[in-house]
């Protein structure tokens, strides 16, 4: 991916960009490697700010890719270091985005392969199902496990979630599996 443009950060729907391009939403728990994935996805080092502080992404960030679609980086979830009011505001902002954004064609959920499926992931899955939105789960940090451990984790996560979900094993830092995710997006959501 050579051409990428940061469009804007939005804190409410009045600020969303006016575009006819299809959009792909990116969900992820705080510190799941979401910003590292954005950087790997676009082959840039500092496009998305990588932080050790949970909840750093506090707005919806829009990135135009190759003038063909928009990757939408949503605020991280599962953070304990922010107020309940802020968590409610982010939750409402994300839920409105999913329900009302007509250009949205698919959603990616990035999670650490070593974590179990939680009520947070289930909430995102249900939002997507309720809105007819396809969801793909990116199991990040797969490089930290052996191939057999990865396969066992995928089976566990499928049992904890839904057999219909497609899982990709990736490593954002090592760029493992990122190209396959791009190809899937183009084939299944952009050029479908």
What digits encode the pLDDT tens for the residues 41-92?
Answer: 998 876 665 444 444 557 899 999 888 999 999 988 876 566 777 667 777 8
Which tens digit of pLDDT belongs to each residue from 136-149? 999 999 999 999 99
- Percent of the chain whose predicted confidence (pLDDT) is above 70: 89
3-state SS assignment for residue 67: coil
- pTM (predicted TM-score): 0.90
Domain 4-187, CATH among 2.40.50.140, 3.10.20.30, 3.30.9.80, 3.40.50.300 = 3.40.50.300
Residue 95: how many other CB atoms lie within 10 Å: 15
**137 to each of 55, 92, 141, 172, how far by Cα in Å?**
20, 22, 13, 13
Give me the residue spans of the domains in the chain.
Answer: 4-187
Characterize 16-44 residue by residue with b for buried, 16 or more Cβ atoms within 10 angstroms of its Cβ, and e for exposed. Answer: beeeebbbbbbbbbbbbbbbbbbbbbbee
């Amino acid at each position: 991916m050579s051409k990428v443009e940061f469009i804007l950060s939005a804190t409410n729907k009045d600020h969303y960009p006016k575009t006819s391009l299809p959009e792909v939403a990116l969900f992820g728990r705080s510190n799941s490697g979401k910003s590292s994935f954005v950087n790997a996805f676009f082959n840039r080092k500092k496009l998305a700010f990588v932080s050790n502080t949970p909840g750093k992404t506090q707005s919806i960030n829009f990135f135009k890719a190759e003038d063909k679609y928009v990757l939408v980086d949503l605020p991280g979830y599962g953070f304990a270091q922010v107020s309940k009011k802020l968590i409610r505001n982010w939750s409402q902002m994300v839920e409105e985005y999913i329900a009302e954004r007509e250009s949205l064609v698919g959603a990616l959920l990035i999670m650490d392969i070593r974590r179990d499926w939680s009520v947070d992931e289930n909430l995102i899955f249900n939002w997507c199902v309720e809105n007819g939105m396809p969801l793909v789960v990116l199991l990040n940090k797969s490089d930290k496990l052996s191939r057999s451990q990865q396969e066992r984790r995928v089976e566990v996560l499928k049992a904890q979630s839904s057999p219909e979900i497609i899982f990709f094993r990736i490593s954002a830092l090592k760029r493992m599996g990122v190209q396959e995710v791009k190809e899937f997006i183009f084939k299944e959501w952009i050029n479908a």
